[in-house]
Structure 1
Amino acid sequence: MASPYSSSSSSSSLLDPSRRQYDVFLSFRGIDTRHSFTCYLHDFLRRKGIDAFFDEQLRKGNDLVALLDRIEQSKISIVVFSENYANSAWCLEEISKIIECRERFGQVVLPIFYKVRKSDVENQTGDFGAPFESVDESFPGFQHRVPAWKEALTTASNIAGYVLPEKRYFSLHL
């Protein structure tokens, strides 16, 4: 399930732990959680002394390869699945790369299901799966990546993680 955006440094950065730049990579859909849950999670990790990559500098239109390199440079990936996560080819490339790093190098992956049903992520159904109903419209130029993305979503949803239902109030005072 190798990404077409793989960099030349991929195997060396994960095989040599001293070359890992981040403790945690946070994968999330900005429109859903950037200014809420993920922002609070990033702040919590920072206060605990955990160096987490939070996509503040790399915005849409910048180099996707640089973003995928950050995944390789991390020890752990936390994936915040939300309703619009699958609307983004970038997010789907991230989850594909995260699962690749898990399988090839044993990277730890922690999925969080934020206001989305785990089964909808696993099966690409409900509002979460809507983009997969019209692949040509949703992912022009990326249709060939859809099978790998679906496989990565299914794999990730079967990793032990956390489910945060819509009506649950949460606090990060751990």
Structure 2
Amino acid sequence: MDAHSRQLNQQVFVNFRGEELRCGFVSHLVEALQRHGINVFIDKHERIGEDLTNLFARIEESTIALVIFSRRYTESRWCLDELVKIKERTDQRLLKVIPIFFKVEPITVKQLRGAFGDQFREREWEYRCDKPRTDRWKEALASVSCKIGLTFDKKSNESKFVRIIVKEVNKMLQGNLGDFPLSGGFRDTAFLGSQTSTQESVDLYRESISLVQANSNIANQVAAVSKCFTDIESENHILTTQFAELTERLRSLNSVIEMVEGVVEIPDFLMNPWQMSCSLQPVMASAEMFQY
């Protein structure tokens, strides 16, 4: 079986929030992948309300998963359940995953910030009676978002971005099961003549990929912790500045009060108006004053 035939037999599963992306970005991506002879599965083929077992079976049949994180991704429990299955298969090294951050920052997904995080907490509250499930969602989000991925922002060109994804998928498919890229120099006669050398090279190749991924995960975790430290330090600086400003205002107010007390003498009759003197003049009255 040649490389092209094997590529057709290897499925790419696309995990995404349907309502937000189905008719736009995802449709363009699927078309581009199919145009390059790549077998793609998206959940439009499943009936609404059907058991997740069928979707899990599609994930198990796949070689690569594309997880498209978008602003409304965490609105969908289906997306989150699929993500848990993708994480399980990835941990077992039976599936490769490429996270795609579509108009959301990786740090937003990793730390559940903004609307993305608020929607997740709504799902978490909705399923509060099934804490193991919500914990698996959180673990899957943290794990997959820390992997090497691709980011599409407001300045990105969609056509170019789709081409980049197709290129990365092709590289992964060619590297799967020992199918290295032709340009890598591994397909000459001398190399293919030794089955043992081939298997050893494949094992080394996979191990190197695993190490690169592990290093990337560590780097992402360090970056996240550094970002938290920077945010806290910035907040402390703001609070320190506000405290200094309030202290200075209080000092100025005290100075004004001391100045007024030292210069202006307030008369006693203003301080005790009930002690003010008044002239004691007799009131003259006559009988005529009481006549109507």
What TM-score comes out, normalization by structure 2 length? Answer: 0.50
1:105: Cα distance to partner?
3.0
What code does the residue aligned with 2:69 have?
F
1:59: Cα distance to partner?
4.0
Cα distance in 1 for partners of 2:85, 2:94 equals: 13
More helix by share: 2
Q: Does 1:126 align with 2:111?
A: no
SS at match of 1:79: strand
SS at match of 1:34: helix
1:13-24 superposed matches below 5 A: 22-24=10-12
CA contact (8 A) 2:17 2:73 kept: yes
Provide closer, same or farther for how the CA distance between residues 86 and 151 of structure 1 changes in structure 2, counting only shifts above 3 A. same
Give structure 2 stretches of 5+ with no counterpart.
Answer: 1-5, 165-292
SS at match of 1:35: helix
1:37 to 22, 25, 41: 25
1:1-174 superposed matches below 5 A: 22-134=10-122, 135-137=124-126, 139=127, 142-171=130-159, 172-173=162-163
Cα distance in 1 for partners of 2:163, 2:141 equals: 29
Deviations 1:20-69 (A, max 9, x none): 96420000100111011111110000000000102112143112110011
What code does the residue aligned with 2:104 have?
V
Cα distance in 1 for partners of 2:121, 2:51 equals: 28
Deviations 1:103-158 (A, max 9, x none): 11341100100011111111112111112333223x47654311111111111111
Cα distance in 2 for partners of 1:35, 1:22 equals: 24
Deviations 1:58-91 (A, max 9, x none): 1431121100110010000011111111111110
CA contact (8 A) 1:86 1:92 kept: yes
Q: How many residues align?
A: 155
Q: Which has the higher contact order (CA 8 A, sep 6+)?
A: 1
Cα distance in 2 for partners of 1:168, 1:142 equals: 39
Cα distance in 2 for partners of 1:46, 1:89 equals: 28
Give structure 1 stretches of 5+ with no counterpart.
Answer: 1-17
What TM-score comes out, normalization by structure 1 length? Answer: 0.81
Cα distance in 2 for partners of 1:94, 1:40 equals: 22
What code does the residue aligned with 2:125 have?
D
CA contact (8 A) 1:124 1:150 kept: no
Following TM superposition, where does structure 1 have runs of at least 4 consecutive aligned residues deviating by more than 4 angstroms?
140-143
| CA RMSD in angstroms, aligned pairs only | 2.1
- % of aligned pairs identical? 37
More strand by share: 1
Provide closer, same or farther for how the CA distance between residues 140 and 101 of structure 1 changes in structure 2, counting only shifts above 3 A. same
SS at match of 2:23: coil
1:98: Cα distance to partner?
0.4
Provide closer, same or farther for how the CA distance between residues 141 and 47 of structure 1 changes in structure 2, counting only shifts above 3 A. farther
CA contact (8 A) 2:63 2:94 kept: no
Larger Rg, first or second structure (1 or 2) = 2
- The answer for the alignment partner of 1:4 in structure 2 is none
What code does the residue aligned with 1:113 have?
F
What code does the residue aligned with 1:96 have?
V
